[in-house]
Chain A
Amino acid sequence: MTTVVLFAQLKLRLMAGNLRGDLQRKIGFVFTLVAAAGLAALGFFLMSLLRLAPPDIASSLVIVAFSAFLFGWMVVPLMAFGLDDTLDPAKLSLFPLGTRRLAIGMFTASVTGVWPAAMLIVMFGALVGLASGAGGWLLGVPAVLVQFALCVVTSRLITTALSSALRSRRGRDALALAALFVVLLAQLPNLLMNGGSGDPAAMLHRMAAVLRWTPPGMLAHAIADGGALALAEVVSGALLVVLLAWLWIKVLGRALVTSDASTQAAAVRGESGLADRFLPDGPLAAVVTKELKYIRREPRYRMGWFSALLVTVVLSFSLTRTGGGVAGLPILLTSLAALLIAMQSANAFGVDGRSLWMNAVAFGSERGLATDLAGRHLAGALIAVPLLGVVAVATGLLTGHPAAILPAMLAGWGALGIGFGVGSVVSVVLPYTMPERMNAFSGAAPGQGGVAFASSMGSMMGIALLTLPFVVPLLLGFTWVCVLAPCYGLLMETLGRRLAARIGFARTPELLAAVSKPTGPVV
């Protein structure tokens, strides 16, 4: 019992310590509290409203919801790994605690918190909404508790089993990308719905039929059933929890004595020398080579590119379905893709962060910075230009306007050039630190959220405004304007780059300071 109290206190202390002295975090925490309380209340209310729905739909919904909860518990802690110290057994391995006490303690720590409490409340809402008869109520309470324990233990088992991989650099790199796939997965039902493959009720039943025999499905069914079968389902769920807990303790025992293998990394692939083949030897070729490597190796770049592409694909699918008749759609979509790709260049030095000094001590004049920007743009263009070509062709064919492919392609390239030009100016005017570990909640160091917001809004509006001169005529049907778009884009890129080099070189120290801010408790 003391262990339980001790670890609950530890978690609360960690939460309190995280808030100390920082107004923004305090506001964030209050926001989290309100959001969690609101979600708990709303979830409880909605779940209990299921009583009014037809019983089959209600039970199907709860089955899906319970499965989704379990999935959430499996995935979210992986994303938060390193943010919550009580998740990582290595942080606790030096304390003289037996494995059993550690397991109890870590279990306590993971159920202590706002979100676990909120979820428990929502699941009790399901009990109110679904329970039928005395048996349902009687078995429903243990069913909900078993489901809760199942979520916690499964999540613990997964994080512990993967903890050594998660602590390594490679593991975290892979995870950063995995986060995107989770986002895509979350979009999938939406896309399918848009696809119009049958009515929602039928789809719900089909999903529920599959999930019915998974542990969370069985527990949800137990609440609705309330008979002998329900008893068997709750008991088997509980047995599963015990089994998983036993497995978890075994894995925990091993994780505590296994050393960290993250420094034994393999060598990277050699240089492809792509940039050297068509560029003269010099700083420009060096920057292009480095940038191409960074786009391939740096998870923040990979995330940026993948999400730009992802948003384009999702938008293309939903827009072509709903408004396929508009002839200008390929032009709009390709320009949008160019905007999304170019937006990454709006904080060009943010990813370099504290290593930017290496450039700063090498650049003696504006020309150095201009070369750096040109190299970054060239590297980006090497990937973006063919990519935008593909987007133009794909959207042109999907919407059934093959005639729009060429204008769309040219417009996209023009927008890309404008994006790079605007991006380079914004990079030197509103630079901010990008945290090494991206998460969904912040894309900037503490205290720089406002700058980050201004940076992305400013660059978005700037790019949008500057693309209007050719996008509007194109949409109005003056197709010949598209020939000018790439030239106009190139001009804007050159002007932007020159201006940025002038502003940026004069304020090099300020630029360095802005992108080298500490990014919070996680190092």
Chain B
Amino acid sequence: MSDAVRTHGLVKRYGQQVAVAGVDLVVPSGSFAGLVGPNGAGKTTTLSMITGLLRPDGGSAEVDGFHVWRDPIEVKARIGVLPEGLRLFERLSGRELLVYNGRLRGLPKADVEQRADELLAVMDLTGAAGKLVVDYSTGMRKKIGLAAALLHNPSVLFLDEPFEGVDPVSANTLTEVLRRFTASGSTVIFSSHVMDLVERLCDWVSVMSAGQIVAQGPLADVRGDRPSLNQAFLELVGSSSTEGGQSLSWLGSGLPEAGER
């Protein structure tokens, strides 16, 4: 099996702080991969560097065998991206946003419009297609962002926290679309810190901690003989269970503090 994504010693520094300290990420083609790690582990930074949005201080990244920084034309035609932060072209309507994205990549207008309408229908956004993105809710933004990332039929999809702040119904729609996408042989890489979700969806897991990959491989291998991925994750990133029970002794007593009414 070839690799959809392969990085060698990716490094990113912000002044003194090292955000990503030599990441060797490997994701096989056709996998539904989860990039997990605690907040500040460097997941977003890593994804930004692989998608060409952030210049690495060292190392290299390849998508489908093409060097991200030396061969941007090949790479950018192959990837779809949904970064964190959900910033889209706010003053376009959902449909206009999709059409703009498709045409920007050189697809004919008629094709783009057809694809956009189908995507809007699948994402349950047809009713909101004419509203400005600035008025969309978080779930709607994630869905329209995903639709925009899928529109040109990429072979590798990068999603940064796609399920954060999304209601269960929208999340279900998102996973359905993504499952169908990977079933056809395309690759999805998404970052998350919701272990249950990763365990449910992914067949490949990369665990990041403090700017490095600490474990990587098929889900079953990373989990090992532990009961859940969550357990494995906590052991890998070295979390100590908190014993701070005493300092919160006032919590949960139930009566509001007496005060000036």
The CA of A281 and the CA of B104, in the complex, are separated in Å by 10
| Contact partner, B76, options A352, A353, A355, A364, Cβ 8 Å | A364
A510 at the B interface (CB under 8 A): yes
Task: Check A134 for interface membership: any CB of B closer than 8 A.
Answer: no
The residues in B between 162 and 221 inclusive whose CB is less than 8 angstroms from any CB of A are none
Whether A267 and B89, one on each chain, are in contact in the complex, defined by CB atoms closer than 8 angstroms, is no
Contact B101 A364 (CB under 8 A): no
- Among B102-150, those with CB < 8 Å from A are 103-106, 108-109, 129-132, 134-135, 137, 148
B251 to chain A, nearest CB (A): 19
Closest-CB distance, A63 to chain B (whole angstroms) = 44
Q: Mark B67-107, 1 if CB is under 8 A from A, else 0.
A: 00000111111010101010111111100100111011110
Is A512's beta carbon under 8 Å from chain B?
Answer: yes
A362 near B101: Cβ-Cβ < 8 Å: yes
- Taking a contact as CB atoms under 8 Å apart, the answer to whether B131 and A290 are in contact is no
CB proximity of B143 to chain A, nearest CB, Å? 15
Partner of A298, one of B74, B75, B91, B135: B91
A17 in contact (CB, < 8 A): no
CA of A274 to CA of B104, assembled, Å: 17
**Chain B neighbourhood of A364, CB < 8 A:** 72-77
A-contacting 9-mer, from B51-59, B223-231, B237-245: B51-59
- Considering only CB atoms, which chain B residue lies closest to A359 in the complex? B104
- Tell me the complex Cα distance, A175–B175, Å: 41
**Once the chains bind, are B132 and A297 in contact (CB under 8 Å)?**
yes
Q: How far is the CA of A287 from the CA of B87 in the complex (A)?
A: 18
B131 CB contacts on chain A under 8 angstroms: 265-268
Kindly identify, within residues 260 to 306 of chain A, every residue whose CB is under 8 Å from any CB belonging to chain B. Answer: 262-263, 265-268, 270-271, 276, 281-283, 285-287, 289-290, 293-294, 297-298
Is B260 at the interface (CB under 8 A from chain A)? yes
* Interface check A361, CB cutoff 8 A: yes
Task: Specify which of A2, A271, A293, A298 lies most central, judged by the most chain B CB atoms within 10 Å of its CB.
Answer: A293
Interface size class of B (residues with CB under 8 A): 35 or more
Number of interface residues of A (CB under 8 A): 44
Contact between chains at B132 and A268 (CB < 8 Å): yes
Contact A293 B92 (CB under 8 A): yes
Set of chain A residues within 8 Å of B55, measured between Cβ atoms: 509-510
| Chain A nearest CB, measured from B159 CB (Å) | 13
CB B3 to nearest CB in A, in angstroms, measures: 20
- What is the bound-complex CA distance between A30 and B55, given in angstroms? 38
With A283-B106, A357-B83, A509-B54: A363-B130 Cβ-Cβ less than 8 Å: no
Known: A2-B260, A169-B134. A282 touches B92 (CB 8 A): no
Alpha-carbon gap, A358 to B91, bound state (A): 14
Once bound together, how far apart are the Cα atoms of A281 and B89, in whole Å? 21
**1/0 per residue B38-76: CB within 8 Å of A?**
000000000000011111000000000000000011111
Complex: A276 Cα to B51 Cα, angstroms: 31
Give the distance to chain A from B66, nearest Cβ to Cβ, in Å.
10
The reply to whether the CB of A9 lies closer than 8 angstroms to some CB of chain B is no
Which of A271, A294, A358, A363 sits near B148, CB closer than 8 Å?
A358
A361 near B76 with CB under 8 A, answer yes
A365 to B106, CA, bound (A): 13
Q: How far is the CA of A210 from the CA of B74 in the complex (A)?
A: 72
Closest Cβ of chain B to A170, distance in Å, is 9
From B81, B91, B130, B137, residue with most partner A Cβ within 10 Å = B91
Q: How many A-B residue pairs have CB under 8 A?
A: 101
Nearest Cβ on chain B to A15's Cβ, whole angstroms: 25
| Dominant secondary structure of chain A at its interface with chain B | helix
A283 to B108, CA, bound (A): 9
CA–CA, A309 and B259, complex, Å: 58
From the candidates B52, B72, B75, B100, name the one contacting A289 in the complex (CB within 8 A).
B100
Most chain B beta-carbon neighbours within 10 Å: one of A262, A282, A285: A282
A214 at the interface (CB under 8 A from B): no
Asked if A290 meets B76 with Cβ closer than 8 Å, knowing A267-B130, A353-B87, the reply is no
Min CB distance, B214 to chain A, in Å? 27
A508 proximal to B (CB < 8 A): yes
Interface residues in A336-378 by Cβ distance below 8 A to B read 352-355, 357-365, 368
Residues of A within 8 A of B261 (CB): 96
Residue of B nearest to A296 (CB): B91
CB-CB < 8 A to B73: which residues of A? 364-365
Q: Does B76 lie within 8 Å of A286, measured CB to CB? A: no
Task: State whether A354 touches B87 (Cβ < 8 A).
Answer: yes
Contact of B108 with A293 in the complex, beta carbons under 8 Å? no
Minimum distance in angstroms from B206 CB to a CB of chain A: 21
A357 partner residues in chain B, CB cutoff 8 A: 53, 81, 83, 87
A361 touches B96 (CB 8 A): no
A353 to B90 alpha-carbon distance, docked (Å): 11
Task: Please state if A169 and B130 are interface contacts (CB–CB under 8 Å).
Answer: no
CB contacts (< 8 Å) of A509 on chain B: these are 52-55
Question: For B83, what are the chain A residues with a Cβ–Cβ distance below 8 Å?
Answer: 357
Complex Cα distance A355/B101, Å?
12
The distance in angstroms between the C-alpha atoms of A96 and B256, with both chains bound, is 12
Chain A residues with CB under 8 Å of B90's CB are 355
In the docked arrangement, what's the CA distance between A509 and B131, Å?
30
* Chain A residue at minimal CB-CB distance from B90: A355
Query: What are the residues of chain B within 8 A of A271 when measuring CB–CB?
Result: 96
Closest CB in chain B relative to A21 CB, distance in Å: 16
Across the interface, which residues of B come within 8 angstroms of A354, CB to CB?
Answer: 85, 87
Can you give 7 A-B contacts (C-beta < 8 A)?
A265-B132, A268-B130, A281-B109, A282-B103, A286-B100, A297-B91, A360-B53
- A interface residues, Cβ below 8 angstroms from B: 2, 96, 169, 262-263, 265-268, 270-271, 276, 281-283, 285-287, 289-290, 293-294, 297-298, 352-355, 357-365, 368, 508-510, 512-513, 516
> What 4 A-B pairs have minimum CB-CB distances, sorted nearest first?
A267-B130, A364-B73, A286-B103, A354-B87
Known: A267-B130, A281-B108. 11 other contacts (CB 8 A): A268-B130, A283-B106, A285-B103, A297-B91, A352-B89, A354-B87, A355-B89, A357-B53, A358-B89, A365-B73, A508-B52
